Structures are given as C-alpha cells and as structure tokens.
Amino acid sequence: MQNFFVHKKFYPKFKNLRQEFEENFVDAKATHPKRFVWDFWYDEDQYHLIRTPAYHYFSSKLYQDFHSYLVQWGRENLGCHDISPPWLSYYVDGCYQKLHSDVPHGPWAFVYSLTPDRKEFRGGETLILKPETLDFWSNYGRSDSREFKNFVDVIPSMMNQLVVFDPRFPHGVTELKGTRDPLKSRLVVHGWFVNPRPYVVGGLSTKGVQASIDPVFENLNSILSGIDLLDGTISLRLQVTPAGQVSQYKVLTNTLVSLASKPDDIRYFEKEIKKLFLHTKFIKTKKASSITLPLIFK
C-alpha cells in the first residue's frame, strides 16, 4: 500500500509564485489589498494557521498556469480530473495542525510547498500515520522499542515539492517554532484531487473506452462478491495497441485496505483485476492509446 509519495522539482515556474508572495510582504508598512486577505484559522487544540484562497491571492495568469499544470498532472497520474479550490497557507511560530483525516473531499490530498529550503524555524513538517501504526497489533513485537518516527512519516516542506497522500490517514503539521516573519515561514498550497474518471490519450475516445470496460466491471462484481469490504483507490495505466490489445498494465497508485482485516483479499483482487484488464479488447484505432483508470471503493 502506498499512502503518500513525494515529487521534488515539481513545477517549472515555481519562482514566479514565490516572487509574487515575497513582493506582497517585502514592505512591512504597505497597506495594499493583498495584505488584508489573510484569515487566522484558530480552532483550539486542532488548527492554528494563516490562510487565504490561492486562486484569489495570486494574479490570474500566474495562478491559472499553476492550476492547469497541477490538474493535468492529476489527470495523467491519478485519473482525477480536477482539484478542489486550494488554500494558500503560511505557518509562523505557534502554528500547527493536529492529527485529523479528510473524508470525503477527494481520493488524494496534496501539499505543494513554496517554503525556502534554508529554514529559520524548526517543525512545520507534514505528519502522516504509518499503515503499521493503524494496524499496530499485527506488527507488534515485544522486543521492539519504538519512538515517534516509528509511528509517523515526517515530511519536511521543501521548495517546489509536491506531496500527495491518502487523506483517510490521520495527518497533520508539527508545530512551527522560531520565526514570526511570513517571508521565512512554511508556505504551502494545499487541497484535494477530485472528480476521478478515465483519462485517455491517443486513438481511443473516452466513450469507446467506457464501452469496452463496462463488461469488465460486470466480471469485477462477481470477483468482489467473494471478498469482504474493500476501501480505497487504485489507479491503473493501460497501454493499448492500435489493434485494441492491452500491451502493458501498470498500477500507478494503490490505497486499498480490507476493512475486514483480510490482506489476502486485496492480493487476490489485485491479481484478478490485472487478468481482467490484460484480456480486455478495445476497438481498433489508427493510433496507440494510454488510459489512466481510477477505481474507487467505499
């Protein structure tokens, strides 16, 4: 199971976003409108951070270029066709998010960092509980002593880094200590990937893909009838030849869990679904096709 992944050097134009933020704060005595759009989200013992809608904060062209780039990445890699309206947040001394989960915003959450790599603060890392922590007794060993980082993944905020994670997992942000200057803060754009559906590139149309995979879903139902409850998302990449044959099957992401605590069910399902799609026939086209297919289980 892959509950998070990290992409460094994500966005080619990241310096433009960072520069606009800095320009709005460089003069501490300025009174232009961008100095007054921030909300201090204070929820006692849960959320302390300063935030604003990212799509209103940045200039229109600058934001739209980033939005389009992130959306396209989500379509190609997750099969999610859009993102939720994202927040732009900065964290100074005393800011944090305590552990929480986000359901049902979207199958994947993201945190994109515009935080300087050279930090003048401590903390501010993204925390995500490890799968083995949530299934603690299955991994328990009497001879093993464990400490904080044995229970959580700790991901520092680095400039131009995208973190994508399963929002069902309890997650948060460690308390930041050491600076009250927004220009030296933890600065992130965050939200959720939403609207999962097939994404098709090449000779096939989405309608043609749907017609070919509908029978697969019928067979899938018979497989699932022998499996106890599954929950999560699995995103597949199918490479299809012009003749309509699947030449390559790849799992892009997989957050499936067995709510009945039967990991064998997941392994069985993964094996059977691979067989189903490798034998799926698509219509003939003039060009090869690539299909990104998200499957959601609730």
pLDDT band at 135 (very low <50, low <70, confident <90, very high): confident
* Model pLDDT, residue 215: 86
pLDDT band at 261 (very low <50, low <70, confident <90, very high): confident
* Model pLDDT, residue 188: 98
List the end-to-end C-alpha distance of the chain, in Å, as a whole number.
16
Q: Which residue has the higher pLDDT, 12 or 263?
A: 12
* Model pLDDT, residue 143: 66
Domains within the chain, CATH numbers bracketed? 4-196 (2.60.120.620), 199-297 (3.30.2420)
| Per-residue pLDDT tens over the stretch 137-196 | 887 776 677 889 999 999 999 999 999 999 999 999 999 999 999 999 999 999 999 999
Alpha-carbon span 116 to 36, nearest angstrom: 23
214 burial level (CB within 10 Å; 0-12, 13-18, 19+) = exposed
Give percent above pLDDT 70 in the chain. 99
Residues 90 and 187: beta-carbon distance below 8 Å: yes
pLDDT band at 34 (very low <50, low <70, confident <90, very high): very high
Q: Which residue has the higher pLDDT, 268 or 158?
A: 158
Instruction: Kindly tell me if the per-residue pLDDT of 284 is higher than 80.
Output: yes
Residues 94 and 176: beta-carbon distance below 8 Å: yes
Q: How distant is the alpha carbon of residue 57 from its chain centre?
A: 22
* Model pLDDT, residue 144: 75
Q: What is the mean pLDDT of the chain?
A: 93
DSSP category for residue 147: -
* Model pLDDT, residue 126: 98
Helices marked H in 9-167: 14-25, 54-57, 60-78, 131-134, 148-151
pTM here? 0.92
* Model pLDDT, residue 121: 97
Residue 146 has, within 13 A of its CA and on its CB side, a CA count of 15
Lowest mean pLDDT: which of 21-30, 72-81, 173-182, 212-221? 212-221
Alpha-carbon span 254 to 256, nearest angstrom: 6
3-state DSSP of 149-185: HHHEEEECCCCCEEEEECCCCCEEECCCECCCCHHHC
Alpha-carbon span 23 to 19, nearest angstrom: 6
* Model pLDDT, residue 81: 95
| Per-residue pLDDT tens over the stretch 104-127 | 788 999 999 999 999 999 999 999
Residues 193 and 106: beta-carbon distance below 8 Å: yes
Instruction: Kindly tell me if the per-residue pLDDT of 99 is higher than 80.
Output: yes
Instruction: Kindly tell me if the per-residue pLDDT of 222 is higher than 90.
Output: no
